[in-house]
Amino acid sequence: MKNTRDIIQKARQLGLGIPAFNVAHLPMTEPIIRAVRDQDSFALVEVSRIDWIKFGAKSPAAVIAEYHKYEDPKFVRIHLDHVPVIDEDKVKVDYRAIIAEAISLGYQSVMIDASRLSLEDNIRATREIADLARASGVPVEAELGAVLGHEDGPLPPYEELFTSGRGFTRPDEAARFVRESGCDWLSVAIGNIHGAVGEATKDAKKVEAHLALDHLSKLAEITGIPLVLHGGSGIRQQDMLASMKRGIAKVNVGTEIRQAYEQALKAGGDVKAAQEATYLRTSSLIKDWFKLTGIRGSLMS
């Protein structure tokens, strides 16, 4: 079976950005996998610490148990998303224990997010996890720069953020980071923002973000590894598709499908209806937004 590292590397070579769909609530797992299979596509099913702390994913163990009920390795792999060293509420997290548990449970790739630390401390924490994961053959994703949106309170006006380049990943730092940290994939900040997770903002429509594509090209050239786009929901489609040709090999999607699930549940109180809403939205994203229907064969060859 082709491993996740090789699949994402192949996606980079083909100019494809593989979607990674966040399981914010356990019943979302089945319709996500069904949608990927029905579109003859490929995706990662992922869960982040926020998903089990602030939503209904419960735990990494609960998510992988649900995943195993429906998994089909021809179409999906499971990934541990954002495990921060310091979270959006400025709480220190026992990141090593969480990631070690996920690897022992069978997660096929993991993410350490030390982006709120200094460059040197980010490198150190990422190196620690890369060394831990390498023993099990598990690829490691890291983040450099500041992909904003998870913090409490409103963001400054988006265009102000974009024009200023606030938080953008710096090419010179990225080169050093990849060389010294041992990460396999790098999440970059190029105008993308996370969906809000606070109670007052989690149901709000995301700002339409756009991407600094020339900046992305520099990062892709200088790092030489697959790059990751977090905050995939709400990005302008032409920028999203262009980013895949410039080094983005994995795109995280959370808000779009979480809101579809939650809004259907709120409207009817029926989990099956919420699952169907998740299925339809995931299918539409794969087919109409990412244009990835039917790519599985070329990706897995």
Q: Where are the domains of the chain?
A: 4-300
First to last CA, the chain: 11
Residue 151: the pLDDT is: 47
Instruction: Give the pLDDT confidence score for residue 159 in this predicted structure.
Output: 67
Reading phi first (left if > 0) and then psi (alpha if -120 to 50, else beta), residue 147 is in beta
The whole-number pLDDT of residue 271 equals 96
Residue 191's pLDDT is what? 87
pLDDT of residue 201: 44
Q: What pLDDT, on the 0 to 100 scale, is given for residue 204?
A: 54
CA distance 20 to 30: 14
Q: Which residue has the tokens 């982006």?
A: 115
Catalytic position from the list 51, 72, 81, 184? 81
Contact 78/71 with Cβ under 8 angstroms? yes
pLDDT reported for residue 209: 80
CA distance 26 to 30: 9
What is the Cα gyration radius of the chain? 17
The predicted pLDDT at position 205 comes to 58
List, for the chain, all residue ranges whose pLDDT scores fall below the cut of 50: 151, 197-201
Output the pLDDT for position 152: 53
- Write down the pTM of the prediction: 0.92
pLDDT of residue 198: 42
Assess whether 172 carries a catalytic annotation.
no
Q: What integer pLDDT is reported at residue 285 of this predicted model?
A: 97
The Cα-based distances of 15 to 12, 104, 200, 214, 233 in angstroms read 5, 32, 37, 16, 19
| Predicted pLDDT at 89 | 87
Kindly give the pairing relationship between strand 140-144 and strand 185-188: parallel
Instruction: Report whether CATH 3.40.50.300 matches the domain 4-300.
Output: no
